[in-house]
Amino acid sequence: MDKRIGFVGIIIENRLAAAPLVNQILTDFGNMIVARVGIPYREKNCSVITLIVDTSTDDMGALTGKLGLVKGVVVKSALNKGK
């Protein structure tokens, strides 16, 4: 499959409840993650995570789909157009 460079933006609205599951999902898909930056925003009881990924459209869909099923998690993503 053709791999592409892209990003995933994740907002965890209730970090105490959702963060452990999000971290497990990211570990499961760790082979596609090139970089990860996570910022806890304690005053708002949320966290923001940005991922840089190198992956196929199918695997990106699998990752974002699993993250999107977690209650209190918002996910947005994009991949470059490729060749």
pLDDT of residue 82: 73
pLDDT of residue 54: 97
**How far is 55 from 35, CA to CA, in rounded Å?**
13
* Phi and psi angles of residue 81, each rounded to the nearest 5 degrees, phi first: -70, -20
Give me the average pLDDT of each 10-residue run along the chain (83 residues): 93 90 97 96 92 96 97 96 75
SS3 54: strand
Q: List, in order, residues 6 or more apart from 74 with CB less than 8 Å away.
A: 10, 11, 13
Instruction: Give the domains, in start order, of the chain with CATH numbers.
Output: 4-79 (3.30.70.1150)
